[in-house]
Amino acid sequence: MRPTTDSQHEWKGDQDVRVTSSKARSKEPRLRRELYPPIDCDDSGWLEVSELHSLYWEVSGNPAGQAVVFLHGGPGSGTSSENRRFFDPKFYRIVLFDQRGAGKSTPHACLEENTTWDLVNDIEKIRKHLGIDTWQVFGGSWGSTLALVYAQCHPERVTGLTLRGIFLLRKKEIDWFYEGGASAIFPDAWELYRDFIPEDERDNFVKAYSKRLNSTDESVQISAAKAWTNWEMATSYLVPNEDSLRRGENDQFALAFARVENHYFKNKGFFPTDSFLLDNVDKIRHIRAVIVQGRYDVVCPLMSAWDLHRAWPEADFILVPTAGHSANEPGIATELVAACEMHKSFSQKGP
């Protein structure tokens, strides 16, 4: 376990929470906070991870550099070229891949053989396929869920964690966002999500949407997918973002996003208990980690990041005071870049 510093402090007034876990942090030079320029990928392909599923993967940056794997949200959203920009391409070997059913992976929007444990195994298959021994893991929203469970299953393979918009997939988190809690903040967007479902089925929106997302009528699937996806796209930023809203209108994106996400939430993340991720923090307590959270994150509210922070005080905790959920929020993005720079500086120095 790393030593903690006597200079730790938490939120006072209108400023970032910064709870640092190492005295060395205070001696670090000012870290870069701007996204790196766009880069092309150097290699890509599809990895057959089962008789049914093939995953799209890509690598960019320094082929001899420190490996880092980006775990996208959703589940079901897929990756984009912009995801490479959090990482220094001269230092990092940057690995992106689309999870089962998402992005360029095939079959599209498929729910068969698609569980958290399948994805954990997939990450290991990609690591081995690329000849990587250990790597850093970066994940936001559902990606933070997957990063935590992967690290808990394979702590010997993880050299550092960067986590954003913490989602522990507990019932109270699902109920907050999908069963009406967040309607207090976005009642206009909520009505569009709510009114897609008949009144007599509104006691369980996740179940009602599942019925339609798995309809034999493709038009019903697409309509339900757009209603589900647009609710999240409308609430992911502190100020709604037009690009995000347009993304929710894309049939292909919405179908994968909504079907896979709903499938995981209906099945409670395939976790054996509601508090599974918090109960297993001891397995990763020794791993250097940074948690970045927007105070006004409606999709993955602060309560989850705070619960993880309390269970894992050794991890650095940064609360961005004027940000919502998305990694592309200016305050969130700058802190994520800084977190990757911090990991880089420790990698250069060694343990």
325 in catalytic set: yes
297 in catalytic set: yes
pTM: 0.92
Six token digits for residue 82: 């912009």
- Where helices occur in the chain by DSSP H, the ranges are 116-129, 142-153, 171-178, 187-195, 205-213, 218-235, 242-247, 251-266, 276-279, 302-311, 330-349
The amino acid at 327: A
How confident is the model at residue 1, as a pLDDT?
A: 35
Catalytic residue among 297, 304, 309, 326: 297
286 in catalytic set: no
How confident is the model at residue 345, as a pLDDT?
A: 83
Assess contact for 232 and 299: CB atoms under 8 A.
Answer: yes
Pairing between strand 17-19 and 92-97?
Answer: unpaired
Is the pLDDT at 327 greater than 70? The verdict is yes
3-state DSSP assignment of residue 227: helix
- The predicted-structure confidence for 264-303, as pLDDT tens digits, reads as follows 999 999 999 999 999 999 999 999 999 999 999 999 999 9
- The predicted-structure confidence for 188-227, as pLDDT tens digits, reads as follows 999 999 999 999 999 999 999 999 999 999 999 999 999 9
Instruction: Find the mean pLDDT for residues 46-57.
Output: 98
How confident is the model at residue 12, as a pLDDT?
A: 38
Catalytic residue among 53, 72, 263, 325: 325
* Confidence class for position 25, pLDDT limits 50, 70, 90: very low
The percent of residues in the chain predicted with pLDDT above 70, rounded, is 90
Ordered domains of the chain (ranges, CATH): 17-168+271-349 (3.40.50.1820), 171-268 (no CATH)
Task: Report the sign of the C-alpha dihedral through residues 176, 177, 179, 182, in that order.
Answer: positive
Report the alpha-carbon distance of residue 261 to residue 120 in Å, rounded.
Answer: 16
